[in-house]
Each structure stands twice: as C-alpha cells, then as structure tokens.
Amino acid sequence: MSPRPSTPARAASALALLVLLATSSSAAKGGKPPGAPSPPAAPPAAATVEVPTDPPAEPWRATRPVPGPEPEFRAPDFERFVLPNGLEVLLSTRRELPLVTASLVFRSGSAADPPGKEGLAQFTASMLDEGTRSLDALTLSERLKRLATDVGTDVDLETTSLHFDALSDKLDESWEIVAEMLASPTFPQGELDRVRKLLQADVVARRARPEVIAGRVFRRALFGAGYAGRPTEGSEASLAALTRKDLVAFHAARYAPNDAVLAVVGNVDRATLEPMLVRHLGTWKKRKVRSIPAPEVTAATGVRVLLVDKPGASQSQVRVGNVGVPRTSPLYYPTLIANAAFGGMFTSRINLNLREDKGYTYGARSGFEYWPSTGMWVVSAPVKAGDTRESVAEILKEIRELAGERPLSPAERDYAASSLVRGYPSSFETQGGTAGRLATLGWWRLPDSWLEDHPAAIRSVTAEQANAAARQVIRPDHLVVVVVGDRATVEEPLRSLGHPVTVVDEEGIPVPAGPG
Amino acid sequence: MSPKSIWGGLAAVLLAPAGVAAAGGEQAPSIPSIHYELANGLDVVLHQDRDLPLVAVSVWYHVGSKQEQPGLTGFAHLFEHLMFQGSAHHRGEYMELLIEAGGQVNGSTSAERTDYWQVLPSNQLELALWLESDRMGWLLPALDQANLDNQRDVVRNERRQRYENVPYGLARKYIVEGIWPEGHPYHHLPIGDHADLERASLDDVKAFFRRWYVPQNASIAIAGDIDVEATKALVEKYFGSIPGGEPAPALEPPPVHLASETVEVIEDPNVPFPRIWLNWRTPPIYAPGDAALDVLSSVLTDGKSSRLYRSLVYEKRIAQDVAAYQASAQLGSVYTIVATAAPGHDADELKAAIDAEIERLRAEPPGAEEMERALNGWRKGFFSGLEGVLARATQLNSYLHYLGTPDHVAEDLDRYLAVTAEDVQGAVADWLRPDARYVLVMTPKAAVAEEARP
C-alpha cells in the first residue's frame, strides 16, 4: 500500500510518549486504557516525603527459587494443501479469538528489480490496492474498512508479502477483495502517478534518517550496485523512469500463485478455507517463473572506514560487519548461537560492554541476515558523537577477542542456547507470530518437522562449533566500518584508529577531498 | 469447542480464555480476572489462561513524569533504568536470569505511570516474583553512584537516539510545552532535559524510591498459565512483608481550553519536508467526549476514504500523509492532527485544507457509512488487543490504574459502539476550536516559516 499512517492511530499515540528501557521491545498493545477523570485534589506532593519503615531483613531471599518442571513443547498442528493454481497453503486452526491472520509471501523481492528499474517490486506492491478489475481505489478501501480488514504489503530483498487480519465472519468477503488485489490489479495511470510521487517523497524522507543511510552505505560497500547493494525503495530517478508497462510486466512475471506460500492462522478450518480460496483465487493462474541467477558476492577484505557527514549530529550511527552465510549453510545454527552470545541479546557481550559498562549508547547489537545464496552480519550501535572513536575501537576489540583469545565459553553457549530454546515457544503465542513461522517454513521449503525440531537443532550446537563458525565468518582483519555522524567531531579521532577512512556521500560514493 | 492447544499434556481450561463468550451470539471481549489487595496495599490481579505454558507479570507504579520536581525532569524514567541494575538479593543485571529462562523483559515510563513486565515460561513464574519483589523492597542496597552515572549516560543517549537524531523527533517536546502551561505536570516529556538528568543525585534516587516505589502505589497483574491459589500464596510470600507506604495523591486537572491560538514555527535543517501539527486540549481519559474524539480520528484519517486523507493526500495531493489521534490521559488529553507537505507545498496549505474539513464536520455529522467503518475498526481492535498474555496483563493494570477495576474491556468497547454521528459532530464543535489550539510547524525552509506565521 502507499505510505500512510497506520490506523487506528491509537497504538501510535499511546506509545508516543513512552520511554523504554531497551530498544528491542515488543511492547504490549491493548485497547485504550480507560479511567475516570481524577477529581480535583491537593496539589502535587513533594517527592521528598520520607517513608520511615525499611523492609525487614529476610535472608531466605538470597536463594534463587527453583523452577518447576520444564513445560513440554509441542509445535502447533498445521495442515498443508495446494490449490489448483499451485498456491501452497499452510493452515493452523485456532479458536481463541474471532480472528484470522493470513500472510502470503512470494519468492520475489527487490532482487528481481531489473538494473535501472530499482524500486519496481516496491512500486508494484504499493499499487495493489489502487484499483482492480471491479474496484476503484476508493471503493476498495471503503469495502475493506467496512469489514475492518487491515491489509498490508512488505517488500524485501527476496520477498514480497501481503498480509491481512480479519474478523473470521468477514473472511470470505475479505478474500473476495484480496483476491482481486493479487490476481487483477489494474495499475490505473492516474493513481500510479500519484503513488509515484508519494514513493519519491519517501525516498527523500528516508535520506534524512541517519540509521537508513548507515544501513544503505554498509550494504552498498559489501554488495556494490547489485543485489543487496540496491535500495528496495529505489531512487527518485529510478522511480521517475518506471512506467505502467513495467509494473504490469513485473506483476505478470512475479505474482505467480505457484511461486508463493500462504500461511493462515486463526478461527477457520480447512473445510471452510479451502473452497473459499478455490472460489476467490480461481482466476489467478499458474505461470512459469524465471529464476533470478544467484549474485556473485565477494566478501570485503581489509578493514576500512566509510564516513558519512551528518553535520551537528549528537550521535553517530555505527555499523561494522561483512558478508555472512546463506540460510542453507551448515553454519546457520552455529552462527545463530554465536550471534546471540556476541550481540543478539540485551545481556550479550556487545551491549554489556558499550551500554551497561561504558554508557556510549542506548543499545548495541549484532545480527545476521540469511538469504538464499549469501548473507551478511553486522554490529550496529548509535553512539554519542564524542564517543564514536572509542565505540568503534571497542567493537573491533570485541570482534578480535571473539575470533582470538576470548572465544565463547561453554557457559556463554549454554546461556544463549537456553534463551533461544526456552524463548522459542512464545513466538507461537499470537496468530501473527505463528503465521510468520509457517510462512518461513513454507518459503524455505523446510520439512514439516522443522517447527518441532528447531529447539533440538539449537541445543545440538556445541561451543566449539559456534566458535568455529564465528572464526570463519567474523574475521577481525576483514571488516567494513560505516559511521554516519558529525565529520568535524569524529573524523580525526577515527583516523587515529589506523585504518583507512574514506568520506562518502549518502549513497556510499566517495566525496572528493576539498578544502573543508 | 475446545481451543486448539499447541502444547501437550496440559490441564483443561478452568476460567474461560479471553475473548470467548456465549456461543451463537455476538462475542464480547473480556479478560476474566480476580482482583484483591494485600495487607500492605499492593493491588493484585490474576487472569488464568492455560492454553499455553506462558505467563506475563506486569508491575505498575502509579508514578510518572507528572510527579517530577522542577529541575529534575526525566527523573522517573532515569529511575526506571536503575530498577534494572540489580537489588539486594540479586546483584548485577536484572534481566540476566530472565533472559536465560527464555523471557522477554522491558519497562516504560510515561507521564502517568511506570511499568515493568516480563513474559516467560510458566514454570519460571516464581523467578519473576522473586526479582520483582526484590527491587520493590530491597533496591537501594544494590545501587551506587557508578550505576547512576552509567544509566544517566544511557538515558542521555536514548534522548539523542529517539528525539534529537530523528527528523521531527523533538516535536513531541514542543507540543507538550505548547499545550500545557509552565508548572503543569504534563508540561515536559518523560525523557527530560540533559541538564536535569545531569543534576540527579543518588540522594534524589533514594528519596524517589522511598516515596513512590511502595506497595500502596503499585499493582501487579499476572496473566497466563497459573494456578490461582498457588499464585496467591507466592504473591503473599514475596510481596507481603514490604512496608506499604503511601499512595500517590491525585493531581489537579488544568483549565479546559487554551485561551487562544498559538502558532510556533521551528526551522530545522534535519527535516526533509514541512510538517504541521494542530493540537487541542481535550477531556480526560474516559470523560464524556473522549470516545467520540477517538472515533473522529477514524473518520478523519483511517483509510483512503477518510475525510482528511481523501482531501489532502488523495485529491488535492498537497500532503504525503495525515494522521489524527488523541493521547488520552488522566489530567486531560491532547488531540493532534499532523500532516506532512508534499514536495512543493507548504504548511499553510495544509492548515487551510484541514480547517475546511473540520468546518464541514462542525456543520454536518459524518454519514452512516463512515460511522460504520469507524466503529467496526474499533470493535475489531478490542479483539486484536486480547492477543497474548502480556497484552492482557498490561490491559488489566491499565484499567485498574485509571478506573480502579481491572476487567473493563466489554464496557470500554460499548463506550465506543455507543458513539453516534451527532456525538462526533458535537465533539468537533466542543473541542476542536480554531481559536483554542497550539499549532506547531517544523520546516526545512525559512521562506515557508515566514508564510506560516499568523
């Protein structure tokens, strides 16, 4: 859909004035917190009122309570079926709430944008609700709102997804509309010109965000102008050049039911859902999809620093990393463990050092992206401008130690594995969470038993395996460092680290040396 | 019909799971719970749902930035951070054991209250109660100047990250300062100012803890796979001996309307496009008019056919986005309409177009179809809000905080479903007055700033 504020706006406004302890939060939502207006009363009491009583001495509290028996994990039951048009469906029926969540994920994303047509996958997805065979943009929106069905789309490097949630008694009517969006969008020229302007403005708005620039320059440094180096949202110029014909062609080539998976979770069973899908998606035909050749990727060599000037910024956005491994790599599980201990959790090395010890940042982390033929890993931290050099130095030190004198200890491996394994069941708590797991399973063509086997696969990774994987991928002498910050403050200190520093623009292109 | 469990070997559902009512009729949302008080005044709310072996523990302290003293803005939130630095019987990182147990943990501070929560496997409930009670009763022995200095740096970096180094990030600060008078409890943001954060001392921390972090001023909601009687015993064991202290006194509500329209223009080289916020004071949360104004937000900006989206973004194409929302709170709420100019357009055009739509609603109520779309959205939102034990625990604490009763979901939804088109029209007339508002414009260009001045 075209960029617009999420609604109802309640969630946004309720969170707008909250400040959180940690950045990675799945804050609880909930309806509006209601309450009676407070009656007029005394003026604010001074915060210095002393309460004389201290709590009693209770030495028994020094002993940590013993947990009860570990709950047995059983993955959610689900069914698989394939529609006549080749669409693969994974359904998990749950009856707690009168809701259904659906997530349809194609095996094409912005990596399928032809050279010079960056932003095409995104533009195409943004047009799905702008007119279909029988509905114009306004009517389509009105009908969905009347059903209270919220539809969204996401485009990433390798995926295009459409997801919605609906009241279960409105599922049939919702599919009638969503099916038209998928199978017969009309890409009306007038709407297309309007949406293009919105997408172009979004490109400009994103350029004002230091974390977006940091991510883009980092990916560009690793992947050049191809594959993951090209921004999903495209550029103002590439969007300007896209025509209706391009969108129609992309839709025809890439929106294939036989090249997608559909995960459905909630208050509907197969006997109801399957005929509903067959009825509504019958005109959406199977087609041949051309595969996209895997990109050639060479990991960055040496250590180099790319600096983007953000005059006056009170913080610098720091990224450090390199090319990673594909999802199919045998290093997948070992790197999951290594990353969790190194930078994937609040209590991992990177955050305990940069935040809880040094106070350089509100939060520092590391993460791996796993794609079909390659991947990347990155440490990211927004840090106080004056602490930029020390922050980069600490990150480089942590990387060096992980690969050298301070590999993960068995205790760190156990801690990370415990957190991942014991936390895994809660990812099925919501319908959306379960739909995400099912879509992942289908998209990667993992075995059905994967949902159930995932914890055992984590548990099977030893500290040695995690360390071997870390040494293979996280190499202290081969790193790209990106800093987006106030050049006047950070450049000279960064140069004192002893690695080459190149000043680049927001697209990662070197800026010619000038008098300033 | 029994809920399909994704877990093996569990007991049958004892209390009805959330959201389920009599078969056949239209379902009403609910979060069945029991509510009682310990002898020391701690409010306890228990909601049992044994469908998954998960439990959420949510602790609310009825203190927020609204109780901060002059010169100590940001203190309630800084204090929240210190609650994660260990306590007498568990030194070091509060989260350490919870994360190992597979838990999710966080806390947040608003003007109204400070909350702490964790979701974890239900066999680990006692771990959370042990840790939460230890920091409620025995926090101070574990705190020192080094913790304070470290978290002061962290919080100042949070301010830089989330407010200063984000386009339009300081708008929230300008709005609370523009809409509430100096000295009002809502006049400043929970994140506070750097100078005030620098000023906070360990003595301030101790005094704040002793005054506000007491059972009389707190509540705990536990939701999920629990045995009710055993949980009651655990809550008593861990929290029962903490001295009760004093509840927070109620604060004075402010004058109702602003006396005039004020327009403030901020030029900022880091914002890409002009953006305008129109802000009004509106009734306290749950007072008459509150729900009607929320429904108005849907009529104005929910979907392509909503009044403002259709006019500003879809037809006139002078805006890239527009949103209307109300931040409801105990001493009074703020209603905001915000729009970002499309390239080549300015804040004045946006303001005129927004005002035209407000005038239209002042003259004539929204149509039946608009009302139906809006209310259907609110109805569904109440069901979506019941997903997950944390959402339910938080909701129970929230109702308790504002209303004194935990399960108010069905009544709350009814409050919205009862809103009529005339109520919406009336709310516009009563509250969205052109001569009683604070207008903020942030713009990259001086030229636009000049034009936007009244």
Would you call B317 and A194 a contact, using CB atoms and an 8 Å cutoff? yes
A359 domain residue, yes or no: yes
Question: Each residue of B270-325: pLDDT tens digit?
Answer: 999 999 999 999 999 999 999 999 999 999 999 999 999 999 999 999 999 999 99
Looking at the structure, tell me whether residues A127 and A234 fall in a common domain.
yes
A516 domain residue, yes or no: no
Q: How confident is the model at residue A203 (pLDDT cuts 50, 70, 90)?
A: very high
Q: How confident is the model at residue B445 (pLDDT cuts 50, 70, 90)?
A: low
β-bridge mates for residue A382, sequence order: A317
Would you call B158 and A19 a contact, using CB atoms and an 8 Å cutoff? yes
What pLDDT is attached to residue A293? 87
CA angle B401, B404, B408 (to 5 degrees): 95
B127 touching A, CB under 8 A? yes
DSSP string covering B61-130, please? ES--GGGPPTT-TTHHHHHHHHTTSEETTEES-TTHHHHHTT-EEEEEE-SS-EEEEEEEEGGGHHHHHH
Please state, in angstroms and rounded to a whole number, the distance separating the CA atoms of residues A249 and A127.
13
Checking if the pLDDT of A9 tops 80, the result is: no
Would you call A3 and B321 a contact, using CB atoms and an 8 Å cutoff? yes
Window 311-340 of B, Cβ < 8 Å to A: 313-314, 317, 320-328, 330-331, 336, 340
Could you say which of B4, B243, B372 has the minimum Cβ distance to residue A93? B4
Sheet with A365-370: strands ordered across: A365-370, A375-384, A315-323, A479-485, A303-309, A501-504
Checking if the pLDDT of A34 tops 60, the result is: no
B201 touching A, CB under 8 A? no
What pLDDT is attached to residue B257? 87
Q: How confident is the model at residue B7 (pLDDT cuts 50, 70, 90)?
A: very low
B124 touching A, CB under 8 A? yes
Residues of chain B positioned with their CB less than 8 A from the CB of A420 = 102
Residue A359 zone, left/alpha/beta (φ > 0; ψ -120 to 50; rest): left
Sheet with B275-282: strands ordered across: B261-267, B437-443, B275-282, B333-341, B319-327
Checking if the pLDDT of B6 tops 50, the result is: no
Q: Is the peptide bond before A493 cis (omega within 30 degrees of 0)?
A: no
Looking at the structure, tell me whether residues A186 and A94 fall in a common domain.
yes
Would you call B304 and A147 a contact, using CB atoms and an 8 Å cutoff? no
The percent of residues in chain B predicted with pLDDT above 70, rounded, is 92
Extract the tokens encoding A69: 């028996």
Window 423-442 of A, Cβ < 8 Å to B: 423-426, 428-432, 434
Q: How confident is the model at residue A17 (pLDDT cuts 50, 70, 90)?
A: low
B200 φ, ψ (degrees, to nearest 5): -60, 130
Please state, in angstroms and rounded to a whole number, the distance separating the CA atoms of residues B261 and A375.
54
β-bridge mates for residue A479, sequence order: A303
Residues of chain A positioned with their CB less than 8 A from the CB of B130 = 61, 64-65
Would you call B160 and A22 a contact, using CB atoms and an 8 Å cutoff? no
Residues of chain B positioned with their CB less than 8 A from the CB of A267 = none
Extract the tokens encoding B255: 């004058």
Cβ contact B187:B291 at 8 Å: no
Residue range B320-337: mean pLDDT, rounded: 97
Relative orientation angle of helices B368-384 and B421-431, to the nearest 10 degrees: 90
CA dihedral sign of residues A26, A31, A32, A36: negative
Could you say which of B51, B189, B413 has the minimum Cβ distance to residue A17? B189
Window 377-396 of B, Cβ < 8 Å to A: 377-395
**Residue B215 three-state SS:** helix
Checking if the pLDDT of B24 tops 70, the result is: no
Window 70-89 of A, Cβ < 8 Å to B: 70-77
Residue A460 zone, left/alpha/beta (φ > 0; ψ -120 to 50; rest): alpha
B215 touching A, CB under 8 A? no
Substitution target in A2, A15, A20, A21 with the highest count of B β-carbons within 10 Å is A21
Would you call A8 and B378 a contact, using CB atoms and an 8 Å cutoff? yes
Extract the tokens encoding A101: 């969540």
CATH architecture of B34-239: 2-Layer Sandwich (3.30)
Give the domain-ending residue among A281, A314, A334. Answer: A281
Relative orientation angle of helices B421-431 and B347-363, to the nearest 10 degrees: 130
Checking if the pLDDT of B450 tops 70, the result is: no
Measured CA to CA in angstroms, residue A184 lies from A136, A253, A255, A285, B117 at distances of: 12, 13, 10, 11, 46
CA dihedral sign of residues B424, B430, B435, B440: negative
Window 176-205 of A, Cβ < 8 Å to B: 194, 197-198, 200-202, 204-205
The residue written with tokens 């009607």 in the block is: B292
Extract the tokens encoding B208: 């704040």
Would you call A346 and B269 a contact, using CB atoms and an 8 Å cutoff? no
Looking at the structure, tell me whether residues A420 and A352 fall in a common domain.
yes
Max CA separation in chain A (angstroms):
77
Give me the numbers of helices (H) and strands (E) for chain B, helices first please. 16, 13
Looking at the structure, tell me whether residues A148 and A211 fall in a common domain.
yes
A45 domain residue, yes or no: no
A40 touching B, CB under 8 A? yes
**Residue A415 three-state SS:** helix
**Residue A229: HSE in the Cβ half-sphere, 13 Å Cα cutoff:** 18
Q: How confident is the model at residue A16 (pLDDT cuts 50, 70, 90)?
A: very low
Please state, in angstroms and rounded to a whole number, the distance separating the CA atoms of residues B391 and A28.
5
Mean of the per-residue pLDDT values of chain A: 91
Checking if the pLDDT of A146 tops 90, the result is: yes
**Residue A290: HSE in the Cβ half-sphere, 13 Å Cα cutoff:** 11
Could you say which of A5, A43, A382 has the minimum Cβ distance to residue B321? A5
Residues of chain A positioned with their CB less than 8 A from the CB of B325 = 9-10, 12-13
- Tell me the shortest Cα–Cα distance from A3 to chain B, in angstroms: 7
DSSP string covering A417-474, please? HHHHHHHGGGGGSSHHHHHHHHHHHHHTT--TTHHHHHHHHHHT--HHHHHHHHHHH-
Window 321-360 of A, Cβ < 8 Å to B: 345-347, 352, 355-360
Please state, in angstroms and rounded to a whole number, the distance separating the CA atoms of residues B384 and B398.
17
What pLDDT is attached to residue A299? 87
Q: How confident is the model at residue B15 (pLDDT cuts 50, 70, 90)?
A: very low
The percent of residues in chain A predicted with pLDDT above 70, rounded, is 90
Would you call A360 and B157 a contact, using CB atoms and an 8 Å cutoff? yes
What's the 3-state SS for B308-332? HHHHHHHHCCCEEEEEEEEECCCCC
Residue range A123-136: mean pLDDT, rounded: 98
Substitution target in B20, B75, B95, B160 with the highest count of A β-carbons within 10 Å is B160
CA angle A321, A388, B159 (to 5 degrees): 105
Which tops the pLDDT comparison, B252 or A263? A263
Looking at the structure, tell me whether residues A353 and A223 fall in a common domain.
no
Quote the number of domains for chain A.
2
B90 touching A, CB under 8 A? yes
Please state, in angstroms and rounded to a whole number, the distance separating the CA atoms of residues B402 and B39.
22
Substitution target in A10, A15, A17 with the highest count of B β-carbons within 10 Å is A17
B283 CB contacts (<8 Å, ≥6 apart)? A37, B289, B290, B293, B332, B333, B431
Question: Each residue of B211-239: pLDDT tens digit?
Answer: 999 999 999 999 999 999 999 999 999 99
Please state, in angstroms and rounded to a whole number, the distance separating the CA atoms of residues B323 and B345.
18
Under 8 Å CB pairs connecting chains A and B tally to 442
Window 19-78 of B, Cβ < 8 Å to A: 19-20, 27, 51-54, 58, 66-69, 72, 77
The percent of residues in chain A predicted with pLDDT above 90, rounded, is 85
B267 touching A, CB under 8 A? no
- Tell me the shortest Cα–Cα distance from A307 to chain B, in angstroms: 17
What pLDDT is attached to residue B16? 39
B364 touching A, CB under 8 A? no
Please state, in angstroms and rounded to a whole number, the distance separating the CA atoms of residues A170 and A178.
12
Q: How confident is the model at residue B253 (pLDDT cuts 50, 70, 90)?
A: confident
Domain boundaries defined on chain B: 34-239, 261-365+420-452
Nearest CA in chain A to B79: A21
Looking at the structure, tell me whether residues A389 and A434 fall in a common domain.
yes
- Complex-level ipTM: 0.92
B252 touching A, CB under 8 A? yes
Looking at the structure, tell me whether residues A132 and A179 fall in a common domain.
yes
A41 domain residue, yes or no: no
Extract the tokens encoding B328: 């409801």
CATH architecture of B261-365+420-452: 2-Layer Sandwich (3.30)
**Structural domain containing residue A461:** 303-504
What pLDDT is attached to residue A41? 33
Extract the tokens encoding A157: 């490097």
Cβ contact A287:A263 at 8 Å: no
Residue range A57-86: mean pLDDT, rounded: 95
Residues of chain A positioned with their CB less than 8 A from the CB of B330 = 35, 37-38
Checking if the pLDDT of A24 tops 70, the result is: no
Could you say which of B4, B165, B391 has the minimum Cβ distance to residue A315? B165
Domains B34-239 and B261-365+420-452 share a fold: yes
A437: domain CATH number? Answer: 3.30.830.10
What pLDDT is attached to residue B26? 61
Out of A106-110, B17-21, B27-31, B249-253, least confident range: B17-21
A59 φ, ψ (degrees, to nearest 5): -60, -25
Looking at the structure, tell me whether residues A93 and A163 fall in a common domain.
yes
Please state, in angstroms and rounded to a whole number, the distance separating the CA atoms of residues A176 and A276.
9
What pLDDT is attached to residue A423? 97
Residues of chain B positioned with their CB less than 8 A from the CB of A358 = 153
What pLDDT is attached to residue A515? 53
Window 129-188 of B, Cβ < 8 Å to A: 129-130, 134, 137-138, 149-158, 160-162, 164-167, 172, 176, 185
Question: Each residue of A278-329: pLDDT tens digit?
Answer: 999 988 999 999 988 889 888 889 999 999 999 999 999 999 999 999 999 9
Give me the numbers of helices (H) and strands (E) for chain A, helices first please. 17, 13
Q: How confident is the model at residue A162 (pLDDT cuts 50, 70, 90)?
A: very high
Please state, in angstroms and rounded to a whole number, the distance separating the CA atoms of residues B98 and B105.
7
Question: Each residue of B179-194: pLDDT tens digit?
Answer: 999 989 999 999 999 9
Give the H or E element holding residue B348: helix B347-363
β-bridge mates for residue B7, sequence order: A73
Looking at the structure, tell me whether residues A136 and A245 fall in a common domain.
yes
Which tops the pLDDT comparison, B28 or B158? B158
Nearest CA in chain B to A212: B166
What pLDDT is attached to residue A223? 95
Residue B286 zone, left/alpha/beta (φ > 0; ψ -120 to 50; rest): left
Nearest CA in chain B to A5: B323
Please state, in angstroms and rounded to a whole number, the distance separating the CA atoms of residues B214 and B241.
11
A267 domain residue, yes or no: yes
